Amino acid sequence: MWENPPQKLILNNNDVHIWLLDINEFLSENIVSYFDILSSDEQEKFNTFSRKLQGHRFLINRAYLRIILAQYLQISPQEILFNYSQKGKPSLNIKTNPEKIYFNVSHKYNYTIYAIARKNLGIDLEKIDPQVNIQKIAQRFFCLEEYECLKQLNSQDKAKYFFTLWTIKEAYLKSIGEGLSGGLNSIYINLLQQKLNYQLINYQEKKKLIAILKHGIYLKTI
């Protein structure tokens, strides 16, 4: 993750580039200038938002996705074409993706995070919130084995276990195109024993967790 990206971006086969965007830094700008970067269908979607803030967030998020990808593809942001899965997951159209670039996006509050790689991947960003009823949520969304493990931990370890597990699970589901609709409890992860192809990053004084998973890892599904 860069504070300032290099002028020339080199994305090797095993690299993952992470871009973090703070939406609040752009809301004071004349963001209408970003409108022309969007495709006609994206412009139509922008116009459907009844709440101004939601519309502005969509506009900035999508415009910067195009701006970032354009640096790797060496084309203008407006030239980029997207395909969409049945569940709405965007991917680059092969016509404008000779470099075989993959990406994934996560939103949390005023932050958007973009992951760019040469392999399919998933990324998730979560805020570590001490006010969350960890045990109640885990009982509803986690596997029984994961929930039983969580109950045995002290309060500090419990929070770390919960948010780590949630972030990894959501990143994995996104890597296979499912998202949360795939069911967090459809995957069992043993954090103590299972070796996963993931990277977990503590960001900004450990208040946020970022998990990145490359598609192709093995997770037990139930």
| Beta sheet of 102-108, edge-to-edge order | 16-22, 111-117, 102-108
What's the pLDDT tens digit per position in 4-48?
777 778 899 988 898 989 888 887 777 888 999 999 999 999 999
Rounded to whole angstroms, the Cα distance separating 133 from 124 reads 20
What's the pLDDT tens digit per position in 191-204?
766 555 444 444 44
**Mean pLDDT on 194-220:** 48
pLDDT of res. 210: 57
Q: What is the DSSP letter of 79?
A: G
Q: How many CA atoms lie within 13 Å of 85's alpha carbon, on the beta-carbon side?
A: 10
- How many Cβ atoms from other residues are within 10 Å of residue 80's Cβ? 20
Our separate counts of H helices and E strands in the chain read: 5, 10
Q: 124-221 in CATH: which number?
A: 3.90.470.20
Residue type, 178: E
Across 114-128, 167-181, 204-218, least confident range: 204-218
pTM, full prediction: 0.83
Q: What is the DSSP letter of 6?
A: -
Q: 16-119 in CATH: which number?
A: 3.90.470.20
CATH topology agreement for domains 16-119 and 124-221: yes
Domain ranges of the chain: 16-119, 124-221
Task: Judge contact between 147 and 59, C-beta under 8 A.
Answer: no
